[in-house]
């Protein structure tokens, strides 16, 4: 929790629910990641928090941007990034969107299939391309496996093929899964990347780039290793697998850049029991839920820390839910959360480390609830 956010909430008392994002913390995170991996260029994953002030601060710091759609490309450009600092990193792109990205000057594209390669060759001729390989996402709390990437044997063929299509094959990408708490998770993918580099070299293709993806965690209820520890582990793996032929590298942090820079303030709508059974947990309903920005509570994957005005007093196990008329809108039931017994309707609670994957996930009008309001300070 940053002092600036606490002061803002105290002095302004903004209406709830809202998220307050501290841009200085974003900057600190940028500098920590840049310091931890000094040889890597940073491509901020825009989807984590596409707020214009976040993009502007990062653009001013020299960050590049990983985008997944034409509007994200336009937002990065509006923030001041030049097209050479933008990658179109989604492996699933419409033909027309590739053409538009090319028109906007973007020359770096991701792919993981020959069908996508054909689209890129047709609408973004001569561009640089990198091929994404599958990972299993083990150790991640929000895995990004299966849907993206192809097996290494396919990736090496696809990179050779890219040159046949008149594109510039530059390297390999992967994502080890979001909120990746195992600092060694990059090692296996880097071994595969190095093998692909060797195969391509034997086929006359000189690759130069490894895109290490995101995965850098944010502190929720439990502590996480520092950026520096991730940097050391990744650097050791790079040396182990690439030896004296170190590739250029880029990282695409999303959560690790903005997660702990934001706090959601929410009002308690109702605290109630459903029976006279004293062993049954009371329900605590907040004015923010799965549809108001807390989508990552799906399957209770991301377990946010919640602070209340009564912390330190007697507490009890509770079930926590959002305000909408949808029974999917339950935040935590399987995981035991304890909240103060004194908590009551009208109290304001804070959901910590909610700067990533909240505003961008918020529904536009479900049950008439407005999208999550955001204050960037």
Query: Interface with ligand PLP by CB under 6 A: which range of 33-41, 183-191, 249-257, 366-374?
Result: 249-257
Cβ atoms of residues 175 and 189 within 8 Å: no
Whole-angstrom distance, CA of residue 209 vs CA of residue 206: 10
Query: Interface with ligand PLP by CB under 6 A: which range of 33-41, 162-170, 209-217, 292-300?
Result: 209-217
| DSSP secondary structure, 254-298, as one string | SHHHHGGGEEEEEEEEEEE-SSS-TTSPPEEEES--GGGT-GGGG
Eight-state DSSP code of residue 325: S
Binding map of ligand PLP across residues 9-38, x = CB under 6 A, - = no contact: ------------------------------
Whole-angstrom distance, CA of residue 298 vs CA of residue 337: 16
* Least distance between ligand PLP and beta carbon 252 (Å): 4
Cβ atoms of residues 294 and 285 within 8 Å: no
**Pick from 143, 169, 254, 292: which binds ligand PLP (CB under 6 A)?**
254
**Pick from 93, 255, 350, 375: which binds ligand PLP (CB under 6 A)?**
255
- In the complex with ligand PLP, which residue's Cβ is closer, 66 or 347? 66
**Scanning the structure block, which residue is given the tokens 């792109």?**
93
Q: Which helix (H) or strand (E) holds 100?
A: helix 95-103
The site for ligand PLP, by CB under 6 A, has a size of 16
- In the complex with ligand PLP, which residue's Cβ is closer, 185 or 263? 185
Q: Which tokens in the block code for residue 163?
A: 């040159």
**Scanning the structure block, which residue is given the tokens 């192809």?**
150
Cβ atoms of residues 40 and 250 within 8 Å: yes
Position 93 contacts ligand PLP (CB under 6 A): no
Cβ atoms of residues 362 and 292 within 8 Å: yes
Position 149 contacts ligand PLP (CB under 6 A): no
* Least distance between ligand PLP and beta carbon 255 (Å): 4
Task: Examine the residue annotation and report whether 325 is marked as an active-site residue of this protein.
Answer: yes
Query: Interface with ligand PLP by CB under 6 A: which range of 53-61, 212-220, 266-274, 338-346?
Result: 212-220
Query: Interface with ligand PLP by CB under 6 A: which range of 29-37, 50-58, 208-216, 341-349?
Result: 208-216
Count CB-CB contacts under 10 A for residue 23: 18
| DSSP secondary structure, 238-264, as one string | HHHHHTT-PPEEEE--SHHHHGGGEEE
**Pick from 51, 137, 143, 214: which binds ligand PLP (CB under 6 A)?**
214
Chain-centroid distance of CA 263 in Å reads 16
**Pick from 19, 33, 37, 45: which binds ligand PLP (CB under 6 A)?**
45
Position 89 contacts ligand PLP (CB under 6 A): yes
Position 143 contacts ligand PLP (CB under 6 A): no
Cβ atoms of residues 40 and 235 within 8 Å: no
Position 231 contacts ligand PLP (CB under 6 A): no
What does the binding site for ligand PLP look like in residue numbers (CB under 6 A)? 45, 47-48, 66, 89, 175, 178, 213-216, 252-256
The residues that are catalytic are: 325
């Amino acid at each position: 929790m940053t002092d600036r956010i606490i002061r803002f909430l105290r002095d302004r008392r903004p209406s709830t629910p809202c998220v307050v994002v501290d841009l200085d913390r974003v900057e600190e995170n940028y500098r920590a990641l840049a310091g931890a991996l000094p040889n890597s260029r940073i491509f901020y994953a825009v989807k984590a928090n596409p707020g214009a002030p976040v993009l502007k601060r990062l653009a001013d710091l020299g960050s590049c941007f990983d985008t997944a759609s034409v509007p994200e490309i336009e937002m990065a450009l509006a923030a001041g990034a030049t097209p050479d600092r933008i990658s179109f990193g989604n492996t699933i792109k419409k033909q027309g969107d590739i053409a538009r990205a090319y028109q906007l000057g973007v020359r770096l594209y991701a792919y993981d299939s020959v069908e996508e390669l054909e689209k890129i060759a047709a609408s973004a001729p001569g561009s640089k391309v990198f091929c994404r390989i599958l990972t299993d996402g083990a150790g991640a709390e929000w895995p990004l496996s299966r849907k993206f990437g192809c097996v290494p044997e396919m990736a090496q063929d696809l990179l050779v093929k890219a040159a046949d299509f008149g594109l510039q094959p530059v390297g390999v990408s992967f994502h080890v899964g979001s909120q990746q708490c195992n600092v060694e998770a990059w090692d296996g993918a880097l071994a595969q990347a190095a093998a692909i580099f060797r195969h391509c070299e034997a086929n006359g293709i000189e690759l130069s780039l490894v895109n290490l993806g995101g995965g850098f965690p944010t502190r929720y209820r439990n502590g996480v290793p520092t950026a520096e520890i991730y940097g050391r582990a990744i650097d050791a793996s790079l040396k182990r697998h690439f030896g004296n032929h170190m590739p250029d590298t880029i990282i695409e942090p999303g959560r690790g850049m903005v997660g702990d820079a934001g706090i959601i303030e929410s009002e308690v709508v109702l605290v109630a029991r459903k029976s006279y059974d004293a062993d049954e947990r009371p329900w605590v309903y907040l004015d923010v839920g799965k549809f108001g920005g807390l989508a990552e509570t799906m399957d209770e994957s991301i377990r946010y820390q919640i602070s209340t005005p009564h912390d330190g007093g007697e507490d009890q196990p509770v079930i926590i839910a959002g305000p909408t008329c949808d029974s999917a809108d339950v935040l935590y039931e399987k995981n035991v959360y304890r909240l103060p017994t004194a908590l009551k309707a009208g109290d304001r609670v804070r959901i910590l480390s909610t700067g990533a994957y909240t505003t961008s996930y918020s529904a536009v009008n479900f049950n008439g609830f407005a999208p999550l309001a955001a204050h960037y300070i």
